[in-house]
Chain A
Amino acid sequence: MITMTERVDLAAVYARQRLPMIRLARLLVDDTASAEDVVQDAFLGLLRHRQQFVDERSATAYLRTSVVNGSRSALRRRRTVREYLSRQREPEPWPDTSTAMFESAGAADDLLAHVRRLPPRAREVLVLRYWGELSMREIAQTLRISEGTVKSTISRALDTLETSMGGTR
């Protein structure tokens, strides 16, 4: 006999995860339009490989990894464009400068501006840890790195932030 395997309800995953994923991407790429593009691609990837997901948890983990990877790629493309433009003409201000990036003012702006200057992986682990509230293991699985690397990255990032924030105070 043959049994039909129950599958992930992608529509439900989309309904529940789209906004959180856009927010995650927004924290990583700094503007909402790019974030939506990243999340769109992540959902398309999920759809292409939906046979591999047997529950919403695994689908969400895939989405999270895709969004982080997609955000990193988006930043890389943006940097490439920026470098190209800088050779052509005086670069225009990129929308993800601190003024455009952060709508709210004050200490939070300042802190986030420093976060933006961290290496991409450090920024990713901080976002996943302190916004996503993921465990070390979940972050490790999302970024495909070891838990030890996650811990050391967070620790170094926090040290760096405290040092740089202290310098601006």
Chain B
Amino acid sequence: MNIDRHDETGSGRHEALEQQLRDAFRTQADTVTPETLVRRHRDPTDSPSGTTGRGMPRWAIPAAAAAAVLIPVGIVAAKDLSARPNRTSPATTQSAESTDRTATPSSNQPTATGTPTGSRTGSPTGTPTSVSTDVQTNVLPVARIGTGWTIATLGDSRSASTPLVVIDPSGRSYPLGPKVYRVYDITPDHTQILIEPKEPTSTGTSLAVLDLASAKVVASLPIAGGVTTAAFSRAHPDTVIVWRADGSRGPEAVRVNLSGTVLNAFPTTISGAPVQSDDGRLIAVPGPAGLTIYDPQGAAVRTFPAPAGTEVCFPRHFSASTGQLVASCNPLNPLSIPSNVYEFPVAGGAPTQLTFAKPGLTPSGYDSGYVDAWHGPTGLLVSKDDGAGHQLWYQEGTRAPARLSVPGVPDTVEVLLGDDRDNIYVARSCPLGDGGGGCTLFSGPLNAEWFTLAGYGKDKTVTVTSAIAVRS
């Protein structure tokens, strides 16, 4: 970083001393090298203070191997899952409709192999069934894309670009054009998707709008810096809200047109991805001491101070059932007091605290608190981030939350994608080499059917590197 060495501290009065400090610090710091760290861990006695120097973090390996995979989870407490009746899934329809795009397999289609069975397990406790990502001559029924469909990039997460596929609710997948880096969003009419075609470079990246019917790029949006997340503006679908990290200016949320020109920004001084309401009229970002809601043009509509005892808030989503803004809030040092989830009335007023994590140690370590919450039929589905992934809990009334178990899924799940009134969509890590199926599940809470959307087959290394869940 280039800084003015004569600024602000005495106009070079201590220039020689400053240089000596630089040299001395550098010399001292450079005594720590990867080699000395390795040597120290081979010889535990090589610790001048007698402390342990624990070295490799416990989380490093799973985090390194993690690749997000989509799992929608029903809003049902674990105790209720086994009691749910089975429901037969509708038969998979392959016939092309009049507006369907005829897709023939080509060399740039997914390379995974398997049988497109589209099977679904009726029993909520059954082992999720692996579904093929291979497509022989599937025809994408564009007109039928809606709730329950998923668009994902599938492949080896070590590859920068992976095949883009559309997956119907039965698990049948349809290849869509060339490999891409990420998929971010789909238009409200389900005709176009927002993708990042290639891995970002040091100078920036570009987003593209891909037409589903023709499988052709219809707009390209150069973006300075890297894109963290992006979405079509719900209020103005011909514009895109981008959360970008520009090295020279830091992360910022902006709205751009389909040429990539910045139309307006959503200013914030704290990092945190923006979320927009269903109608796109409200965009929430973290504020300097709470939350700020903007309109699509970047005018502040409302600001909320952080609730008492907290200092920063991070918007999570606009609740599909209440329309209110759900956010988690915590002190600047989140270790002192765990984060809790609040619901902020978009019309203004005091927030309602939804979760009540308390500070202090739990048998499993620090309770870092709750990070998100969704209203379910009889209670509140809440999530914790315990360091190894999300834990899902179900909170009914004033009773203490009960842990939610997802059949076939280990204790924790990964990224929570959101809700669509009926479903909670989550993703979990699926480390490469995990083996076996069940990396991706799909279900609705009301029928409690569990379904493998994509996963590892016997000789497959298919995983989901990015995904969007479509809803009407």
Contact = CB atoms under 8 A, between A and B. Distances in A.
A95 to B, nearest CB: 4
Contact of A47 (B21, B63, B231): B63
B27 A104 contact: yes
A111 B57 CA distance: 34
B21 A115 contact: yes
Nearest to B58: A44
B51 A37 contact: yes
A22 B27 contact: no
A15 B470 CA distance: 35
Contacts of A130: 18, 21-22, 25
A100 B70 CA distance: 52
Interface residues of A, number: 69
Given A14-B60, A26-B29, A104-B27, A162 B54 contact: no
B415 A40 contact: no
Interface of B: 1, 3, 7-10, 13-14, 17-18, 20-34, 36-37, 40, 47-55, 57-60, 63-66, 68, 70, 182, 184-186, 188, 226-229, 231, 243, 245, 247, 250-251, 271-273, 314, 328, 332-335, 339, 366, 368, 371-372, 385-387, 415, 417-420, 425, 427, 466-471
A67 interface: no
Contacts of B415: 4-5, 7
B250 A57 contact: yes
Given A44-B59, A126-B21, A134 B1 contact: yes
B29 A27 contact: yes
A86 interface: no
Interface in A105-131: 107-108, 111-112, 115, 126-127, 130-131
Contacts of B1: 133-135
Given A22-B32, A37-B51, A2 B418 contact: yes
Given A54-B243, A130-B18, A108 B251 contact: no
B251 A57 contact: yes
Contacts of B13: 158
A24 to B, nearest CB: 8
Contacts of A146: none
Contacts, number: 228
A3 B245 contact: no
A34 B55 CA distance: 10
B332 A55 contact: no
Given A31-B48, A104-B27, A131-B22, A3 B229 contact: yes
B47 A108 contact: no
A3 B415 CA distance: 11
B25 A131 contact: yes
A34 B29 contact: no
Contacts of A154: 8-9
Given A1-B469, A22-B32, A112-B28, A136 B8 contact: yes
A112 to B, nearest CB: 5
Given A11-B64, A50-B385, A158-B14, A2 B37 contact: no
Contact of B385 (A22, A48, A159): A48
Nearest to B68: A4
Given A48-B366, A48-B387, A4 B427 contact: yes
A11 B60 CA distance: 6
Contacts of B314: 51-52
Interface in A24-47: 24, 26-27, 31-37, 40, 43-45, 47
A133 B18 CA distance: 11
Nearest to B286: A52
Contact of A32 (B7, B36, B386): B36
Given A5-B229, A19-B32, 18 more contacts: A1-B469, A1-B471, A7-B415, A26-B28, A32-B37, A36-B40, A37-B51, A37-B52, A40-B55, A49-B385, A54-B228, A54-B229, A94-B49, A111-B24, A112-B28, A136-B7, A158-B10, A158-B17
A90 interface: no
